[in-house]
Structure 1
Amino acid sequence: MPTRSDTPDPDGKYQQVADLAAADAGGLSTELLGDFLEVLTDAVAVGRPLTRRQLRTLRVHGDTAAKEGVALRALLDLYLSSAWRLWRELPAVVDAARNPSAVVTAGEVMLHAVDDAVAELAEAYQLARRALVRAEVSARREFVDDLLSGSADIAGVLGRAESFGLDLTGPHAVVVVEAMSPFTDDASMITDVERAIAGSKGDTETLVASKEGRLVVVFAAPDHQAVKLVTERVRSTVGQVHGTDGWTQRLGVGRPGQSAAGVASSYREALDALDLAGKLGLDTPVLDARDLLVYRVLLDDRPAITDLVETVLTPLLAARGGAVPLLRTLFAYFESGGNSAMTARSMHLSVRAVTYRLARIAELTGHDVNHPSERFALQTAVFGAKLLDWPTSTASPP
């Protein structure tokens, strides 16, 4: 491909025009012009438009400019500036006084050639930019999946993290957002959240993406205050679009961790927090994994909690109407801090009805909510039942 340096230019005319045009375009390299000035001069001289082969060469320059990060406006400015600067150097213009009609023909050919050249450059540039964007999106998606999975090569993930603005040598945490509408990578919400977090922290070391319809935010978390600030900003920004009701949007927050493994662990904890909230029927909009550790402890020894649930609560299956109404009463009672009046209001029952149900539970299970040790066993069994979806997940009693 011809360049400015290997095309004959004995008078230095083309190089001077190219240098001035490059300055007009903000200091672009004259190499992006190739042999455009010589080709344009020849086209005007013979009175014909640019050939397909010459236009294909221009497409190469458009592609190169896009890959080098040159702005399309600057690229077109380079070509247009070089064309109007070349105009006064054309033989037909220099000899205009002797042959005025030749100037008209030269102008028509010049405008036609420049129009074709700009069209080819712009199309090639845009196609190249689209390809680059697709490649960047694919690379970003692959990195996000590898980072959150925790199963990819850690050294490789750490090496790629820097290109996405993350220094994983420090502690990072993950916030996962669920909403009524699924999140996608092409949503404007991604940019909105990134800007909101940068405003709260004063930096941009944040990765925001979608995964399985949820919004995932990975951010530097040197202390609890940083986690709190980012969580509030994410909730506020998402709430502007998805609403502020806790059931419309819900955030799971994982504990900070070091390196890529710490990010993957924080992500799993955030997901677990959302999952536990769904099983327990919690309407809290922000679910911190630290506050739900006790429930994770229950599930970590599944055989033990299953045994406790079945041993303590199976007698409730014999109650009229089954175990579910009594379980709901117990859950509401424990949620209210053991206040029968509050329990009655939350369940739209009378206090007498609540008292009767608690007495019936004590009769069937042998565990009284007014006795500390028996109450602890009941409460643990009730939350275990919620986590295990008992008795729905069990077979019918004999």
Structure 2
Amino acid sequence: MNTESHPSPDEGSTEQDATEQDRIRAETVRRLERSMGTIGTAAVARMEERLGWFRRMSAEDRSWIGLVAQSGVAAFVDWFRNPVRGRPAITVEVFGTAPRELTRSVSLQQTVDMIRVVIDVVEVQVEELAAPGGAQQLREAVLRYTREVAFSSAKVYARAAEARGAWDARLEALIVDALLHGDREEGLQTWGSALGWSHTPVIAVAGDAGEEGTKVLDDIRAAARRLGHDVLAGRQGRRVVVVVGVGDRYAADDLPVAAAEPLSGLFGPGPVVVGPAVPDLRAAGASARAAVNGLRAAVAWPDAPRPVLADDLLPERALRGDTDARRQLVEEVYVPLQGAGSPLLDTLSVYLEHASSLEATARMLFVHPNTVRYRLSRIAELTGRIPSDGRGSFVLRVAVALGRLAEHGED
């Protein structure tokens, strides 16, 4: 009995079909290799014709995109030659040819538009590029490959965005740290430009991070940008320091509090302190240091508004040892009073010592109460602090004491 096995007619037909498909594929690959340069050139020409954003790009960026298109075609041919390799390594083979900075010049939507143009160019030539009987095989391969390109494009942009976000956060923290320590001020404008900083004047805001420190930073950044501000934010333990470029949308007198108020509710519990407005990022260190020193001293004024100006916390800051606050109090309060003559200083001292009583002050100075009233109004005009106001009298008392100490070399 003959036991020799023979392939069935179906098996023989399958092998012949596979061999024929391999032959067709090999011939299609040869045709594609001969046409790679033409396809790439045609794709760039079609982009020039159909994509306005491509025409407006610099010559360097257009050349990089042309290289990406050429690399995409070459990678497709290589993958089509060896379909058993599975999914193509598109991220490296295609996008690896272009500099990472290209993701800033070309958006994800523009990349999708570019892919569509290349697909159109190839599909139009499928009948010419494919070997006889291989048009459907090539068309299906193109569709699969372009789908992989689309997925890889999304990955490239997602990774670029993630890396850019991480880099921006590190650079923001570095700038905030430099501002607080007063070093590297010559590089601040350059660093700010790297983050797209353009608005002036600038204020700094300091507050508590609360239990969700990272979320607080993200929320403050998002809110500030929605308001049209430039923003830098850094976290130091539980403390958050935010530097805001607010432009000229606010009146100069209202600027610090008006700009900080919409952001103050995003900080954690406790005081939120706003530094003075400064002309640019280079000078923002003074505002940041004032805000942080004010935050440290704010515990001494439990009823302070939120947000509160760092300048409104000058006496608390001075008592805590802030030399800038002591100097500012002396210059803004004591020096003008001293320059106006001894009657104003004497009247203020007596008025404060006698519980803000007009009659008692007048008796001690041997003047009419109206004279005391006039002198107190002059004090308010010169210093911006009202002696009869509880907070104002406290500021004036501390300032006069610091001024006298400074006069005797005890500053």
Q: Shorter-normalised TM-score: what interval?
A: 0.5 to 0.7
Give the counterpart of 1:192 among 210, 223, 231: 223
Identify which of 240, 255, 265 aligns with 1:229.
Answer: 255
Instruction: Please name the residue that 1:324 is paired with.
Output: none
Contact 1:190–1:208 (8 Å) recurs in 2: yes
User: Does the 8 A contact of 1:47 with 1:109 survive in 2?
Assistant: no
- Corresponding residue for residue 69 of structure 1: 105
CA distance in 1, matches of 2:98, 2:108: 9
What are the within-5 Å matches in structure 2 for residues 1-398 of structure 1?
Answer: 12-21=38-47, 23-25=49-51, 26-27=53-54, 29-40=65-76, 52=88, 56-61=92-97, 64=100, 66-91=102-127, 99=133, 102-150=134-182, 152-166=183-197, 172-178=202-208, 183-184=213-214, 186-196=217-227, 198=228, 204=229, 206-212=230-236, 213-219=239-245, 225-226=251-252, 228-239=254-265, 248=269, 250-257=271-278, 262-300=283-321
Q: Indicate how the Cα distance of structure 1 residues 22 and 165 shifts in structure 2: closer, same or farther if over 3 A, else same.
A: closer
Q: Which amino acid in the other structure matches residue 284 of structure 1?
A: P
Q: Distance in 2 between matches of 1:55 and 1:236?
A: 43
**Which amino acid is 2:150 matched to?**
V
How far the C-alpha of 1:190 sits from its partner, in A, is 1.5
Contact 2:223-2:263 at 8 Å conserved across structures: yes
Whole-Å separation in 2 of the counterparts to 1:234 and 1:79: 45
The CA distance in 2 between the partners of 1:301 and 1:42, in whole Å, is 69
CA deviation digits over 1:287-338, x for unaligned, max 9? 3233333444445499xxxxxxxxxxxxxxxxxxxxxxxxxxxxxxx9xx88
Q: 1:107 to 1:65 in 2, by over 3 A?
A: farther
Q: Which letter does structure 2 place at the counterpart of 1:159?
A: T
**Alpha-carbon contact 1:40-1:50 (below 8 Å) kept:** no
Tell me the distance in 1 between the aligned counterparts of 2:139 and 2:245: 58
Q: CA RMSD in A?
A: 4.5
Deviations 1:116-174 (A, max 9, x none): 33333433443333223322322222122112221x22212243233345579x86442
Distance 2:249 2:90 in 1: 61
- Aligned AA (1:134): A
Q: Secondary structure at the match of 1:217?
A: strand
Alpha-carbon deviations, 1:68-87, whole Å to 9, x = none? 43112222321232123212
Residues 260 and 287 (structure 1), Cα distance of their counterparts in 2 relative to 1, 3 Å cut: same
- Separation in 2, partners of 1:172, 1:32: 42
Q: Aligned letter for 1:250?
A: P
The alpha carbon displacement at 1:187 in A equals 1.7
How far the C-alpha of 1:234 sits from its partner, in A, is 2.3
User: Higher helix share goes to which structure?
Assistant: 2
2:262 & 2:322 partners in 1: Cα distance?
37
Identity percentage over the alignment?
A: 15
Give, in angstroms, the shift of residue 260 of structure 1: 6.2
Conserved 8 A contact 2:274-2:291: yes
Q: Which amino acid aligns with 2:66?
A: T
SS in 2 for 1:267: helix
Distance 2:128 2:44 in 1: 20
Residue 177 of structure 1 aligns to which amino acid in structure 2?
G
**In structure 2, the residue corresponding to 1:216 is in which secondary structure?**
strand
Question: Which string of whole-angstrom CA distances, capped at 9 and with x for unpartnered residues, describes residues 268-303 of structure 1?
Answer: 22223233331243343233233333444445499x
| Residues 173, 227 of structure 1: 8 Å contact kept | no
Offset of 1:11 from its aligned partner?
8.8
Paired with 1:269 and 1:278, the residues of 2 have a C-alpha distance of 15
What TM-score comes out, normalization by structure 1 length? 0.56
Amino acid at match of 1:287: V
Distance 1:166 1:71, change over 3 A: closer
Distance between the aligned counterparts of 1:166 and 1:43, measured in 2?
A: 44
Mapped to 2, the partners of 1:242 and 1:220 lie a distance apart of 19
User: Would you say the 8 A contact 2:203–2:287 is kept in 1?
Assistant: yes
AA paired with 1:275? R
| Equivalent-residue separation in structure 2 for 1:280 and 1:178 (angstroms) | 16
Q: In structure 2, how many angstroms separate the alpha carbons of the residues matched to 1:61 and 1:167?
A: 32
- CA gap of 1:107–1:194, structure 2 versus 1, over 3 A, is closer
Is the 8 Å Cα contact of residues 24 and 77 (structure 1) preserved in structure 2? no
Could you tell me the TM-score, scaled by structure 2's length?
0.55
Partner SS state of residue 250, structure 1 = coil
Deviations 1:185-209 (A, max 9, x none): 752222212433x3xxxxx4x4341
Q: What's the CA shift for 1:17?
A: 3.3
What letter corresponds to residue 233 of structure 2 in structure 1?
A
